[in-house]
């Protein structure tokens, strides 16, 4: 099947590559010439495990191409996926300008029947708006109502986790497809059913519903996951105050099959391209249509405050003025296996440390280049602070002479470091762990002053420090 993907971000590029992998002829469009040049030269503008290999295979086989040619992209695909960004507007609502411009381009150039697929995360009612702007463009061409220029708009939201997006697409737990129940909608449904048939061979994974319900499903799913995270973070903060261990609590409640273990890890807040903006968009939608969403308003507020929890722990111990101190920071991306810095907790943690006079040496396995770009934007108005931020090529380079280690992202390579070496090169044996990677008792035995989220802090005794120093 001939497929066009409009937008080569996380969703568009993964969707296009995976559909090409199973045999489709895919045309990927982007207005950013830089991205297209990178892709045509064999590179990939984002970090996503397995993606570069799929693109290399499908390019060699002639099943995927990358271009900025809008007219050619519309002519190519009988199915047109709109997978452009929907960033939050100033009021928190989803900015649909790129979605609607993609739709206008389809209306300007289409010459045959098309299925237009909203793959971007969009508010309820977007499919209707997409249909409206395409009809406007057809009317300008004198083609409104033309049998040759019929089209259908369907909603097919993505459920891809950054860092595991390829696996999520190739082995989906569900495929949500929203279409109208009229003749045109049924025609589009059959075409999408054929497109997704390879993913349904073992059992039917497609959930068919109306368009508005499909649009809402994506937001509701992300809002639920964000709620679980903020709930556990609030429980962790309370556990800190009452002396409970949030990890023991997590195991205790996660064993209940009605709850489960997913998204119950306490930490220093969520980030990324989805949860923050989707929660904001739902809150805005509610405000526009009636009573607000009090739970989601609290979820957002808790997450905002949780990104300050590590610095609160640091200042409680070392004082609010951190001038002259140096902190090693491990982890910059908002989660492992991605270089995405959007809403990453590290941005708040590092900015707060710098604002208090500290110097920071930071490391991330893949996100350093993106982090350097982001912090140049974030701190460009504070050159003195920016001068105290340094990025290193290895995690070990961050440690020498640092007053403490701060862990923000749970990359695998951080889970089992050489603690004896770590303790030897740090100015003081002090760790602030925003992801609860280590066991407090083991750290105490090593003579490391270890502060985590929602777990009792064990003060080091003089005998413990001496024993560990002599080990």
CATH of 2-209, one of 3.40.50.300, 3.40.50.720, 3.30.420.40, 2.160.10.10: 3.40.50.720
Find out whether 342 is annotated in a ligand binding site: yes
Q: Which CATH architecture has domain 220-305?
A: Orthogonal Bundle (1.10)
Q: Dihedral (C-alpha) 166, 171, 174, 175: value to the nearest 10 degrees?
A: 60
Beta-bridge partners for 28 = 5, 66
Determine the pLDDT at residue 463: 54
Instruction: Grade residue 465 by pLDDT with cuts at 50, 70 and 90.
Output: low
Q: Under a CB-based contact definition with an 8 Å cutoff, are residues 109 and 140 in contact?
A: no
Contacts of 320 (CB under 8 A, 6+ apart): 356
Find out whether 2 is annotated in a ligand binding site: no
Helix then strand count (H, E) for the chain reads 19, 14
- Using the 8-state DSSP alphabet, how is residue 173 labeled? S
Find out whether 267 is annotated in a ligand binding site: yes
CB burial readout 180-201, b (16+ within 10 A) else e? beeebbeebbebbeebbeebee
Determine the pLDDT at residue 202: 82
Q: In the annotation, is 274 catalytic?
A: yes
Find out whether 264 is annotated in a ligand binding site: yes
Task: Report CA-CA distances (Å) from 395 to 331, 337, 429.
Answer: 9, 16, 16
Contacts of 256 (CB under 8 A, 6+ apart): none
- Distance, CA of 119 to CA of 172 (rounded, Å): 15
Find out whether 187 is annotated in a ligand binding site: no
CATH 1.10.1040.10 residue ranges of the chain are: 220-305
Instruction: Grade residue 470 by pLDDT with cuts at 50, 70 and 90.
Output: very low
Per cent of the chain over pLDDT 90 is: 90
CATH entry 3.40.640.10 includes domain 307-470: no
Q: Which is catalytic among the residues 18, 28, 268, 274?
A: 274
pLDDT tens-place string over residues 224-236: 999 999 999 999 9
CATH 3.40.50.720 residue ranges of the chain are: 2-209, 307-470
CB burial readout 130-166, b (16+ within 10 A) else e? bbebbbebbeeeeeeeeeebebbbbbbbbbbebbbbb
pLDDT tens-place string over residues 137-171: 999 999 877 777 899 999 999 999 999 999 999 99
- Above 50 in pLDDT, residue 380? yes
Instruction: Grade residue 88 by pLDDT with cuts at 50, 70 and 90.
Output: confident
Find out whether 15 is annotated in a ligand binding site: no
Q: Under a CB-based contact definition with an 8 Å cutoff, are residues 322 and 331 in contact?
A: no
Segment 431-458 mean pLDDT: 95
- Above 50 in pLDDT, residue 188? yes
Q: Under a CB-based contact definition with an 8 Å cutoff, are residues 296 and 227 in contact?
A: yes
Find out whether 419 is annotated in a ligand binding site: no
- Above 80 in pLDDT, residue 348? yes
Cα 231 to chain centroid, rounded: 19
Determine the pLDDT at residue 466: 53
């Amino acid at each position: 099947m001939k497929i066009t993907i409009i937008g080569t971000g996380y969703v568009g590029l993964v969707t296009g590559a995976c559909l090409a992998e199973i045999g489709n002829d895919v045309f990927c469009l982007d207005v950013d010439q830089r991205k297209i040049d990178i892709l045509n030269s064999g590179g990939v503008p984002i970090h996503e495990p397995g993606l570069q290999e799929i693109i290399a295979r499908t390019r060699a086989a002639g099943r995927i191409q990358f271009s900025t040619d809008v007219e050619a992209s519309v002519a190519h695909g009988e199915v047109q996926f709109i997978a452009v960004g929907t960033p939050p507007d100033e009021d928190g609502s989803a900015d649909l300008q790129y979605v609607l411009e993609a739709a206008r381009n389809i209306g300007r150039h289409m010459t045959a029947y098309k299925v237009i697929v909203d793959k971007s995360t969009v508010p309820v009612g977007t499919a209707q708006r997409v249909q409206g702007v395409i009809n406007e463009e057809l009317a300008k061409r004198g083609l409104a109502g033309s049998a040759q220029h019929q089209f259908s708009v369907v909603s097919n939201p993505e459920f891809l986790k950054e860092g595991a997006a390829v696996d999520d697409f190739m082995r989906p737990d569900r495929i949500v497809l929203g279409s109208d129940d009229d003749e045109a909608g049924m025609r589009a449904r059959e075409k999408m059913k054929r497109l997704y048939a390879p993913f349904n061979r073992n059992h039917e994974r497609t959930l068919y519903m109306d368009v508005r319900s499909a649009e809402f499903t994506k937001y509701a799913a992300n809002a639920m996951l964000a709620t679980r995270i903020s709930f556990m973070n609030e429980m962790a903060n309370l556990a800190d105050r009452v002396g409970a261990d949030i990890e023991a609590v997590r195991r205790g409640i996660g064993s209940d099959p009605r709850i489960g273990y997913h998204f119950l890890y306490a930490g220093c807040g969520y980030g990324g391209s989805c949860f923050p903006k989707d929660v904001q968009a739902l809150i805005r939608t509610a405000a526009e249509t009636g009573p607000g969403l009090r739970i989601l308003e609290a979820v957002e507020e808790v997450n905002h405050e949780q990104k300050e929890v590590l610095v609160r722990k640091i200042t409680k111990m070392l004082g609010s003025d951190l001038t002259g101190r140096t902190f090693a920071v491990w982890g910059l991306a908002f989660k492992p296996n991605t270089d995405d810095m959007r809403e990453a907790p590290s941005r708040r943690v590092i900015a707060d440390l710098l604002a208090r006079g500290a110097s920071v040496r930071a490391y991330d396995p893949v996100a350093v280049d993106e982090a350097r770009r982001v912090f140049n934007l974030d701190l460009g108005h504070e050159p003195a602070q920016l001068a105290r931020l340094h990025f290193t090529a290895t995690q070990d380079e961050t440690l020498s002479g640092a007053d403490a280690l701060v862990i923000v992202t749970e990359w695998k390579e951080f889970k089992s470091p050489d603690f004896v070496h770590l303790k030897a090169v740090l100015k003081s044996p002090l760790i602030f762990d925003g992801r609860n990677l280590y066991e407090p008792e083991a750290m105490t035995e090593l003579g490391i002053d270890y502060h985590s989220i929602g777990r009792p802090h064990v003060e080091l005794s003089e005998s413990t420090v001496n024993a560990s120093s002599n080990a």
